[in-house]
Structure 1
Amino acid sequence: MQFQQLAYFVAVAETRHFTQAAERMRVAQPSLSKQVRALEAELGAPLFSRARGNVTLTPAGEALLPLARRMLADAETARSEVGELAGLRRGRVRLGATPSLCAGLLADVLARFHRTYPGIELLVEEGGSRDLVRTLARGQLDLALIIMPLHSDDPALVTEEVLSENLVVASPSAGHTRRPYARIEELRRRPMVMFRRGYDLREATLAACRQAGFEPRFAVEGGEMDAVLRFVEAGLGVALVPSMVLDGRPGLTGTPLAPPGLRRTVAIAHRKDVEPTRAAQAFRATLLLFLTDAARDGDLPEGLDLITRTGTGTDTSTGT
């Protein structure tokens, strides 16, 4: 079994077309087909059904696809890590983060890291926690800043809790009388702007409302963070968001929920079965130092608190 064969297999699986896969891989179609057949012979099972020109995965192909993606991603990580050690390149960090963190303090962390390690390539993927966990498990990220806790069906990860943040009710500032807090029950009577599926904020909002005994009423749903905040500014409804995303948005007001309020925990995660690269370890150290310095100097965004670290991480192989 060769990595090239696995790459060809993944290309066909994703395009469901041999010619398009060959174009993606920049190889002649007969050569690609030959390598896929060789892989099938090596494994002793057909990977694709080719009936009437319709290419679909067989059960064997379905089983191989996630493994092949992970093997290819790990091979690329190995090349990057060895290249770094050999002095050929300095490495890379593939980081996933939630939209609230991307819009908040992450830019300052990346700037500090880039000043310290200017030769390391930074690749950032923004998304909801569930999406980032899946991407991390496929080997397409080195680290991810996600929201805890993990779900029972999430893959095995090592997580380290780093921040606790307040969720507030975001509403338009115009005509708003500032209040010390709001009760979750008040959202029963107000239209809400809701995030798309896959966002942890969507799940947190639904869970809080249902615990209070009602289903929220959506004025609009399906947006990303920037879109949701803009919709709230336009008066379409209110939204439950992290307090730090309201920095620099004078058109929005954040009202905390009545004590004990609603908080969530941010953790840095990596796969349990793969040790982070040296570049990724350097980023983790930079992030933790930045957060420690910001907490000491009082520079953390409003509603964020540093979690005192008592260990190196938590094995979440059981998803709990």
Structure 2
Amino acid sequence: MQFQQLQYFVAVAETRHFTRAAETVHVAQPSLSQQIRALERELGADLFQRARGNITLTDAGEALLPLARRILADADTARHEVMELAQLRRGRVRLGATPSLCTGLLPGVLRAFHDRYGGVQLLVEEGGSHDLVRHLARGSLDLALVVLPLPTPSPALTTVEVLHEDLVVVSSPDAPAPGRRGRPVHIRELEQTPLVMFRHGYDLRELTVAACRAEGFDPRFAVEGGEMDAVLGFVRAGLGAAVVPHMVATRAELGLRVTPLASPGLKRTIALAHRSDVAPPRAARELQQLVLAKAPQLAARNSG
């Protein structure tokens, strides 16, 4: 009894038509009929009652059908499990993340993942949440770390909250401190502080501008249009202050003055997103679990 013969038998049983069954399994109808007859000879029983325009199962066919379906299903399961394991040895994960997370969070998470699954290729796309959502929707990313709420909520995406981040004000130690030195600064006090501002489409830009306008003023930009590393460099050079995640601000090598925001402060919620209609590949699911487990720990360590 051959696996292929069982496939052909189930196809005929379900369509009750040899020609349509052959089309279903992409084989010539004479070849399908020949394999069915070979199966019947091996089993020593007819599986179908053949009459012009009327194909029905015999008692032997009725007995074989659920067994054949189970065998085919088990084979599919086995194939799927082997492919899943293979993905963890030589698969690929396409991950998107905002630039601040690429700087502050991802190095530790990706190192832990690489230690476990060294054969899996990691492709990282850096961008704002709006761009990452678009990449997810068209299938060019498996997962993305985005900022909630999404710029355009989509029922086609599933999001799981990963962590909440405090935002702080960073400035050069050689420049005047925003607000009064030694105490948290209120957003309204930034009205007199030139800011180094991220480019359009950057989540932190939208958050900062919205917070300033809620206090009744438009922020004044000393420099604008940069990515995270550029903004931090401009701040370090004394061109202005910037509002950034605490996780990024406290990196020792930056040497920046970090001033917390006065209550209620500013926070942002980081979530892991993937398409709702397509299950991420096994390697991506493993990375997803690792992000959910490790990200809060790494964020706390980097903020400490």
State the alpha-carbon separation in 2 of the partners of residues 196 and 96 from structure 1.
18
Q: Deviations over 1:24-59 (max 9, x none)?
A: xxxxxxxxxxxxxxxxxxxxxxxxxxxxxxxxxxxx
Secondary structure of the residue aligned to 2:109 is helix
Please name the residue that 1:255 is paired with. 259
| 1:280 Cα offset (Å) | 0.5
Runs of 4+ in 1 over 6 A off after TM superposition: none
Please name the residue that 1:287 is paired with. 291
* Contact 2:98–2:129, Cα closer than 8 Å, also in 1: yes
Query: Radius of gyration: which is bigger?
Result: 2
| 1:291 Cα offset (Å) | 3.2
Please name the residue that 1:128 is paired with. 128
1:265-304 map, 5 Å:
265-291=269-295, 294=298, 299-302=300-303
**Pick aligned residue for 1:243 from 238, 241, 246:** 246
1:228 matches 2:231: yes
Q: Deviations over 1:106-153 (max 9, x none)?
A: 111111101101111100111111111111111111000000011345
Please name the residue that 1:205 is paired with. 208
1:82-97 map, 5 Å:
84-85=83-84, 87=86, 90-97=90-97
State the alpha-carbon separation in 2 of the partners of residues 254 and 129 from structure 1.
25
Give ranges in structure 1 of 5+ residues lacking alignment.
Answer: 1-80, 304-320
Q: Deviations over 1:219-264 (max 9, x none)?
A: 1111000001111111111111111112124431121111111100
* Contact 1:84–1:91, Cα closer than 8 Å, also in 2: no
| 1:293 Cα offset (Å) | 5.2
Matched to 2:219, the amino acid is P
Secondary structure of the residue aligned to 2:252 is coil
* Contact 1:91–1:279, Cα closer than 8 Å, also in 2: yes
* Contact 2:162–2:296, Cα closer than 8 Å, also in 1: no
1:11-160 map, 5 Å:
84-85=83-84, 87=86, 90-152=90-152, 154=154, 156-160=156-160
Q: Percent identical across equivalent pairs?
A: 59
Q: Deviations over 1:41-91 (max 9, x none)?
A: xxxxxxxxxxxxxxxxxxxxxxxxxxxxxxxxxxxxxxxx99944848621
| TM-score for both structures, normalised by structure 2 | 0.67
Q: Deviations over 1:155-197 (max 9, x none)?
A: 6210000110011111112255652300111111111111111
Secondary structure of the residue aligned to 1:254 is strand
1:192 matches 2:182: no
Give ranges in structure 2 of 5+ residues lacking alignment.
Answer: 1-79
